[in-house]
């Protein structure tokens, strides 16, 4: 990177901008407004909020007034450091504050000020539970300030959404905001749009949203008949293929591909078919089946429940009910597990979380693990971030990572730790990057007569209640990474005396940020606590990034490795993984750029058709005789309605096909013969070419639909099959499951690691 740019970045990721706001928070904390009435405070807050962006005095005065109201109506008097954090959010800076510092209140103080200043505010939460909880919890403060508040979740009926979005402050899960965006984009009438105004986004758990989940596409799709089953012959061949000779798995176990011998076997099993020509979809099926067979592991990558396979999100370690795999993989896993095929879904539209967030005018956020991500947040989003100290000093003891030779030895060591803590009445929270590992460990605990509560992919419904009790004396909770996030773990007095919460990591996570999220469960607000991570050389992360590590020389009894240099292996593995994830985020952004511009052009025209009657003449204009004839028989309004339906349905179908084309391009099928060109250039060239005639063709196809319109009861009836409007849609997220996403592989190819010459 150029030095000048580097220097600029370093300036941007300094903590100074946040530190400079300290005097404002101090001034606010010193203002005593206890004698003022609620009405006076709310009136003052309103005036001050309007000027808080430019005047330090107004900002301090707003914070003092809202502090007093929070004290009276929420029973919480914001600490000075919370005022400081709110000030940062109001000056466009994101802040890191440790777990338990009261970020919910911080976000509410900031949301209220933006709201009073006339901005439209969305507080983006991690899930439905938190959106509902926080809107309700902070409600009395907003009410005292004369602001309306609402939450929108997956359970909110379509009919109520528009009204809820009209509230001054809206608490909404990130994904839900995205689904509403997508549904609005395919609305068949302006009335059907819920039209949320995306102005200010205040993001809770911001690093998870902006980084860990940034590349996850939110998808709107419609059922398009039963899924195409993978050809049974393919399943059969794939079963018979031998590792190494017929197919190879990449060193890091993320991609699998057929060797020449494997291809030959496939060709022999499918005589007469052109795998590299007309029947290339069969080759794609074989790859997907191979992937499902050899890379996806039951209970780790997916679980089987209620007769179908559910994806386990690797970042959260739990089942996402709305998650589905990328096209094809679902049915491959269904075939592998002998399940009935679920319906095939056709993608109508999609948006990544990163794109959704970029659609807001102002974006700020909080998190307990934001600061280490500050540089990337600035590069990707232009977001400035800083950090603040805890209100009460953190006395949690974080021990250095212990590395064991074997996974079993690590588990024994963990078991000893749990035993000791439990018998002393200390609560223990065990976290692990893998669902299978947490299950196994919980089983071991039970065999030992230790009663453990397990939070994992299989029972995510009550996780918040369970996690809330994790601070009871002697309680043992086994949890995957993000289970129950946002819920406070309060220590019972006896648990505090026993040393507070002990956090044990069974293996390190793919990034130190994720480790820190688990650690942060202990030691909130000056509580005692301890965290210990136990890794093993057999852990997936280390196997993937360091398959050829040397055998340790200095191993203690029980497998603990004493060689300090080998301990470095863990940090290195995490950095490699973080680097990979980071380049994937950049790549996804670049690959999505042209599609976003194209979508924007379509939506512009689409919105005109939706709202401007005059624009509808376009479609009738192509069939003037038919138009004149119909116009004699029906009202002008009926003519408009028919043209609108035909145009919108046509352009939506065209976009669905375009997305499908782009997805196939990414699958690499069309790029095989172009191996020597730069993939992004090829990709952009191809989708630009495909997009060129898209809008004109949509108008033509609309006119074709109108040409067959019939007069029924004084109105126009169009052919439903020709229109092809989906009767029901599905909104879900496709996981960025870390194995073999196509972009991911491209990313590694760009770094020169992919040997297949696929692109």
Q: Are 503 and 532 in contact (CB under 8 A)?
A: yes
Q: Which stretch binds Mg ion (CB under 5 A): 86-94, 345-353, 479-487, 684-692?
A: 479-487
Nearer to Mg ion, 390 or 726 (CB): 390
Q: Which stretch binds Mg ion (CB under 5 A): 377-385, 480-488, 534-542, 609-617?
A: 480-488
Question: Minimum distance between the CB of residue 205 and ligand ADP, rounded to whole angstroms?
Answer: 9
Query: Is the distance from CB of 501 to CB of 428 less than 8 angstroms?
Result: yes
Q: Check residue 559 and give left, alpha or beta (phi > 0: left; psi -120 to 50: alpha).
A: left
Segment near Mg ion (CB under 5 A), from 51-59, 377-385, 484-492, 720-728? 484-492
Q: Please say which residue, 98 or 639, places its beta carbon nearer to Mg ion.
A: 98
Radius of gyration in angstroms for the set of CA atoms belonging to the chain, rounded to a whole number: 28
Q: In the complex with ligand ADP, which residue's Cβ is closer, 76 or 690?
A: 76
Structure tokens given for 727: 């009767």
**Distance in Å, CB of 496 to ligand ADP, minimum:** 15
Identify the DSSP state of 726: -
Q: Which partner from the list Mg ion, ligand ADP, none does 153 bind, CB cut-off 5 to 8 Å by kind?
A: none
- Return the number of the residue (142 or 691) whose C-beta is nearest ligand ADP: 142
Nearer to ligand ADP, 91 or 103 (CB): 103
**Closest distance to Mg ion from the beta carbon of 367 (Å):** 8
Min separation Cβ 226 and ligand ADP, Å:
44
Angstrom distance (rounded) from CA 22 to CA 95:
13
The four Cα atoms 626, 627, 630, 635 give a dihedral, to 10 degrees, of 170
Task: Provide CB contacts within 8 A for 547, sequence distance 6+.
Answer: 251, 252
CA distance 420 to 448: 13
Question: Whole-number minimum distance, CB 489 to ligand ADP, in Å?
Answer: 9
499 binds, among ligand ADP, Mg ion, none (CB under 5 to 8 A by kind): none
| Distance in Å, CB of 151 to ligand ADP, minimum | 16
Compare residues 99 and 407 and give the one whose CB is closer to ligand ADP: 99
Q: What share of the chain is helix, strand, coil (3-state, %, to 5)?
A: 50, 15, 35
390 touches Mg ion (CB under 5 A): no
Gap between the Cα atoms of 516 and 521, Å rounded: 9
Distance CA 310, CA 376 (A): 31
Q: Under a CB-based contact definition with an 8 Å cutoff, are residues 518 and 369 in contact? A: no
Min dist CB 79 to ligand ADP, Å, is 5
User: Which CB, 489 or 654, lies closer to ligand ADP?
Assistant: 489
Residue closer to Mg ion by CB (options 427, 486) is 486
What tokens does 260 get? 């020449």
d(CA 471, CA 485): 15
Tokens, residue 641: 């309605």
Work out whether 365 is an interface residue with Mg ion (CB under 5 A).
no
Stretch that binds Mg ion, among 41-49, 187-195, 482-490, 738-746 (CB under 5 A): 482-490
Residue nearest to Mg ion (CB): 486
Is 75 or 624 the residue whose CB approaches ligand ADP more closely? 75
Binding site for ligand ADP (CB under 6 A): 76-79, 82, 97, 99-105, 488
Residues 628-632: contacts with CB within 8 Å, 24+ apart?
A: 630/709, 630/711, 630/716
Containing 27, the helix (H) or strand (E) segment is helix 22-30
Binding partner selected for residue 500 from Mg ion, ligand ADP, none, CB under the kind-specific 5 to 8 Å limit: none
Three-state DSSP class for residue 629:
helix
Partners of 302 in the beta sheet?
298, 311
Question: CB–CB of 223/344 below 8 Å?
Answer: yes
Neighbours of 589 (CB within 10 A): 18
How far is it, in rounded angstroms, from Cα 562 to Cα 122? 50
User: Which residue, 217 or 484, has its beta carbon nearer to ligand ADP?
Assistant: 484
CA distance 420 to 415: 9
Q: Is 486 in the site for Mg ion (CB under 5 A)?
A: yes
Number of residues that bind Mg ion (CB under 5 A): 2
Q: Supply the minimum distance, in Å, between the C-beta of residue 14 and ligand ADP.
A: 23
Residue window 87-116: x/- pattern of binding to Mg ion, with contact defined by CB under 5 A: ----------------x-------------
- Minimum Å gap between C-beta 598 and ligand ADP is 39
Q: How far is the CB of 104 from Mg ion (least distance, A)?
A: 6
Give the long-range contacts of residues 566-573, CB within 8 A, separation 24 or more.
Answer: 566/403, 567/400, 567/401, 567/403, 569/403, 569/537, 569/542, 570/401, 570/403, 570/508, 570/535, 570/542, 571/512, 572/545, 572/546, 573/508, 573/541, 573/542, 573/544, 573/545, 573/546
| Between 108 and 309, CB nearer to Mg ion | 108
SS3 for 710-722 is EEECCEEECCHHH
Task: Identify whether the C-beta of residue 331 lies closer than 8 Å to the C-beta of residue 340.
Answer: no
- Dump the DSSP string for 471-504: TSTT-EEEEETTTTTT---PPPHHHHHTTSEEEE
Q: Return the one option of Mg ion, ligand ADP, none that residue 100 interacts with (CB less than 5 to 8 A, by type).
A: ligand ADP
Distance CA 457, CA 480 (A): 8
Q: Count CB neighbours of 388 within 10 A.
A: 24
Nearest CA among 627, 700, 689, 696 for reference residue 661: 689
Stretch that binds Mg ion, among 209-217, 434-442, 481-489, 693-701 (CB under 5 A): 481-489
By C-alpha distance, which of 515, 451, 455 is closest to 479? 455
H or E, element range at 12:
helix 3-12
Q: How far is the CB of 76 from ligand ADP (least distance, A)?
A: 4
For the bound state, the minimum distance from the C-beta of residue 125 to Mg ion, rounded and expressed in Å, comes to: 9
Q: Are 188 and 725 in contact (CB under 8 A)?
A: yes
Measured at CB, which residue is nearest to ligand ADP? 102
Query: Which of ligand ADP, Mg ion, none does residue 101 bind (CB under 5 to 8 Å by kind)?
Result: ligand ADP
Q: How far is the CB of 441 from Mg ion (least distance, A)?
A: 27
Q: How far is the CB of 368 from Mg ion (least distance, A)?
A: 8
Instruction: Closer to Mg ion by CB, 484 or 528: give it.
Output: 484
Q: Which does 99 bind (CB under 5 to 8 A by kind): Mg ion, ligand ADP, none?
A: ligand ADP
Least distance to ligand ADP, CB of residue 748, Å: 36
**Strand, coil or helix: what is 260?**
helix
**Cβ closest to ligand ADP, residue 29 vs residue 532:** 29
Q: How far is the CB of 465 from Mg ion (least distance, A)?
A: 16
Pick the closer one to ligand ADP by CB: 62 or 759: 62
Q: Tell whether residue 384 is a contact of Mg ion (CB under 5 A).
A: no
474 binds Mg ion (CB under 5 A): no
Closer by beta carbon to ligand ADP, 341 or else 372 = 372
Nearer to Mg ion, 130 or 288 (CB): 130
The sign of the dihedral angle between the CA atoms of 200, 204, 206, 212 is negative
Q: Would strands 217-226 and 501-506 be described as parallel, antiparallel, or unpaired?
A: unpaired
**Contact residues for Mg ion, defined by CB under 5 A:** 103, 486
């Amino acid at each position: 990177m150029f030095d000048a740019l580097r220097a600029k970045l370093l300036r941007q990721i300094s903590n100074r901008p946040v530190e400079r706001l300290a005097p404002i928070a101090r001034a606010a904390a010193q203002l005593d407004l206890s004698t003022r009435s609620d009405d006076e405070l709310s009136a003052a807050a309103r005036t001050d909020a309007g000027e808080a962006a430019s005047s330090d005095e107004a900002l301090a005065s707003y914070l003092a007034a809202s502090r007093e109201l929070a004290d009276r109506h929420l029973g919480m008097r914001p600490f000075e450091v919370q005022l400081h954090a709110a000030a940062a959010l109001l000056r466009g800076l994101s802040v890191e504050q440790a777990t338990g510092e009261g970020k919910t209140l911080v976000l509410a103080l900031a949301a209220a000020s933006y709201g009073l200043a006339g901005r439209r505010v969305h507080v983006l939460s991690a899930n439905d539970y938190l959106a509902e909880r926080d809107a309700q919890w902070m409600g009395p403060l907003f009410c005292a300030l004369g602001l309306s508040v609402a939450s929108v979740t997956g359970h909110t009926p379509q009919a109520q959404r528009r009204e809820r979005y009209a509230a001054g402050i809206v608490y909404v899960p990130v994904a839900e905001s995205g689904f509403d965006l997508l549904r609005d984009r395919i609305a068949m009438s302006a009335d059907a749009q819920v039209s949320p105004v995306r102005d200010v986004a205040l993001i809770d758990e911001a690093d998870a949203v902006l980084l860990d989940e940034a590349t996850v596409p939110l998808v709107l799709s419609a059922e398009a008949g039963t899924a195409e089953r993978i050809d049974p012959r393919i399943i059969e061949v794939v079963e018979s293929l031998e590792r190494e000779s017929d197919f190879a798995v990449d060193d890091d176990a993320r991609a699998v591909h057929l060797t020449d011998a494997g291809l030959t076997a496939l060709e022999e099993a499918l005589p007469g078919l052109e795998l590299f020509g007309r029947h290339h979809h069969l080759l794609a099926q074989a790859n997907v089946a191979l992937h499902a067979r050899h890379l996806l592991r039951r209970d780790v990558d997916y679980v089987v429940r209620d007769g179908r396979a559910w994806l386990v999100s690797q970042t959260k370690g739990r089942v996402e009910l709305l998650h589905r795999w990328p096209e094809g993989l679902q049915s491959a896993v269904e075939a592998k597990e002998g399940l009935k095929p679920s319906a095939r879904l056709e993608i109508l539209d999609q948006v990544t979380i990163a794109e959704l967030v970029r659609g807001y005018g102002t974006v700020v956020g909080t998190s307990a693990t934001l600061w280490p991500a500050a540089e990337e947040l600035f590069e990707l989003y232009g977001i400035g971030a800083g950090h603040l100290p805890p209100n009460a000093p953190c006395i949690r003891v974080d021990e250095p990572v212990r590395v064991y030779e074997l996974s079993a030895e690590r588990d024994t060591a963990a078991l000893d730790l749990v035993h000791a803590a439990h018998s002393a009445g200390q609560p223990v929270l065990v976290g692990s990057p893998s669902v299978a590992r947490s299950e196994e460990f919980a089983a071991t605990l039970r065999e030992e007569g230790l009663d453990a509560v397990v939070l994992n992919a299989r029972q995510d419904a009550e996780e918040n209640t369970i996690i809330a009790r994790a601070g009871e004396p002697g309680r043992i909770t086994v949890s995957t990474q993000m289970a129950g996030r946002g819920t406070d773990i309060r220590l019972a007095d006896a648990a505090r005396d026993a040393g507070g919460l002990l956090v044990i990591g069974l293996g390190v996570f793919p990034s130190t940020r994720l480790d820190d999220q688990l650690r942060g469960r202990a030691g909130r607000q000056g509580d005692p606590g301890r965290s210990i991570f136990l890794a093993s050389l057999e852990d997936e992360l280390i196997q993937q990034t360091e398959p050829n590590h040397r055998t340790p020389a200095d191993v203690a009894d029980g497998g603990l490795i004493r060689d300090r240099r080998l301990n470095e292996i863990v940090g290195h593995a995490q950095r490699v993984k973080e680097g990979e994830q980071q380049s994937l985020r950049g790549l996804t952004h670049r690959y999505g750029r042209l599609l976003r511009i194209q979508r924007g052009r379509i939506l512009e025209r689409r919105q005109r058709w939706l709202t401007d009657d005059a624009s509808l003449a376009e479609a009738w204009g192509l069939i003037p005789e038919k138009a004149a004839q119909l116009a004699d028989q029906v009202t002008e309004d009926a003519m408009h309605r028919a043209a609108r339906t035909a145009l919108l349905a046509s352009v939506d179908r065209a976009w669905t096909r375009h997305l499908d084309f782009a997805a196939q391009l990414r699958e690499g099928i069309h790029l095989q013969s172009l191996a020597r060109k730069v993939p992004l250039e090829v990709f952009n060239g191809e989708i630009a070419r495909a997009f060129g005639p898209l809008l004109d063709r949509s108008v033509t196809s609309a006119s074709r639909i109108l040409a067959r319109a019939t007069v029924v009861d004084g109105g126009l009836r169009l052919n439903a099959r020709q229109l092809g409007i989906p009767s029901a849609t599905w909104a879900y997220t496709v996981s960025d499951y870390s194995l073999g996403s196509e972009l991911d592989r491209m990313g590694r190819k760009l770094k020169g690691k992919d040997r297949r010459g696929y692109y």
